[in-house]
Structure 1
Amino acid sequence: MAAFLSGCASKFRSYSGPEVTRVRIFKSQRRLVLEGAEGVLRTYPVGLGFAPAGHKQFEGDGRTPEGAYVIDRRNPNSLFHLSIGISYPNAADRAFAAAQGKSPGGDIFIHGGPRRGIDPTNKRDWTAGCISISDRQIEEVYAMVRNGTPIDIYA
């Protein structure tokens, strides 16, 4: 019975700890860091886009953006368990892509694993440019991080 009930647990967790004031992604270290006023609150290993080197420039390039953005939306019905949106592309990203006659892409999220398809534990960099963590980890991050939180993504 306990196993059955644990399978029914909600993916929506609550969090009453210190406020997350900044999210940092260190692409080369494959690390997501949640920071509060007193320092680091949590860290998580991440997967990136399928071509992770360099800043995302165009739709379909498989890169994960680099730069300063904000968490701007939440998707409780994500195909990737849960997801929180990153404000890519910004004005500079759109202008660069437009100058090249291309789309900058969009819909960049921090998300869990897919409901079907690729197992994120078997392949590190598999997204189209998003940042992936495990389903359990995205449940924590989703509860902790609020819209409007700054996110810095480093090479």
Structure 2
Amino acid sequence: MDRTVMRIFRIVLILVAALGLAACSSKFKTYDGPAVTQLQVYKGARELFLMHDNTVLKSYKIELGNQPVGPKRFEGDGRTPEGLYYINRRNPNSAYHLSIGISYPNVHDVQVAKAAGLPPGGDIFIHGEDPRRGRTSQDWTAGCIAVSDKDIEDIYAMVRDGTPIFIMP
């Protein structure tokens, strides 16, 4: 009987340890520092800055749409938008680890696409890596802003919905 009790105790101990380790590896982090008041993206430099007023809190290397030069004009053009947008949603179950949505298209974007007789597109996000490709250091998205999975975990925790994002050439 003692051996059975010891075996059960060991199994329970192993399960508790495994669950504890799994909890430590969660992709959902917490952040209690200064509020991110805006995001700034510089497409040419491939950098994203999380700002608190005029202070840079964090900076990240980014990858862009597979046609990185110029603003997004219509669905399927492979470009990343340029202009003022807002973080407007989040996806904890993203195919790209985690993602936060950008409010593209704005009124101007809709007008530009409509004038060309084309749909403006949508579903522009800041997201993690493509699990099939990993981090490539080359522009590969359909117009989104990609960062490493580790970086999107920080960004996801730090940035709130409604935060302005300025995307510059």
Normalised by the shorter chain, which TM-score bucket?
over 0.9
Is residue 5 from structure 1 mapped to residue 21 from structure 2 by the alignment?
yes
**Which amino acid in 1 is paired with 2:33?**
G
Equivalent residue, structure 2, for 1:104: 120
Contact 2:38-2:53 at 8 Å conserved across structures: no
Among 114, 119, 133, which residue is 1:118 paired with?
133
Equivalent residue, structure 2, for 1:147: 161
Is residue 15 from structure 1 mapped to residue 31 from structure 2 by the alignment?
yes
Q: Give the stretch that moved more between structures: 6-15 or 75-84.
A: 6-15
Equivalent residue, structure 2, for 1:85: 101
Shift of 1:37: 3.0
Equivalent residue, structure 2, for 1:74: 90
Contact 1:74-1:85 at 8 Å conserved across structures: yes
**Could you tell me how far apart the structure 1 residues matched to 2:116 and 2:108 are?**
13
Structure 1, unpaired ranges of 5+: none
Shift of 1:86: 0.3
**Could you tell me how far apart the structure 1 residues matched to 2:106 and 2:65 are?**
18
**Could you tell me how far apart the structure 2 residues matched to 1:86 and 1:59 are?**
15
**Could you tell me how far apart the structure 1 residues matched to 2:133 and 2:43 are?**
20
Let me know the Cα RMSD of the aligned residues.
Answer: 1.7
Q: Give the stretch that moved more between structures: 37-46 or 138-147.
A: 37-46
**Could you tell me how far apart the structure 1 residues matched to 2:24 and 2:34 are?**
28
**Which amino acid in 1 is paired with 2:78?**
G
- Alpha carbons of 1:150 and 1:64: their partners in 2 closer, same or farther (altered >3 Å)? same
Select the structure that is richer in helix: 2
TM (normalized to structure 2)?
0.85
- Alpha carbons of 1:112 and 1:136: their partners in 2 closer, same or farther (altered >3 Å)? same
Percent identity, aligned pairs only, is 56
Equivalent residue, structure 2, for 1:127: 141
Q: Deviations over 1:70-111 (max 9, x none)?
A: 000000010000000000000110111111110111000000
Secondary structure in structure 2 of the residue aligned to 1:138: helix
Structure 2, unpaired ranges of 5+: 1-16
Shift of 1:8: 6.0
- Tell me which stretches of 4 or more aligned residues in structure 1 moved more than 6 Å: none
TM (normalized to structure 1)?
0.93
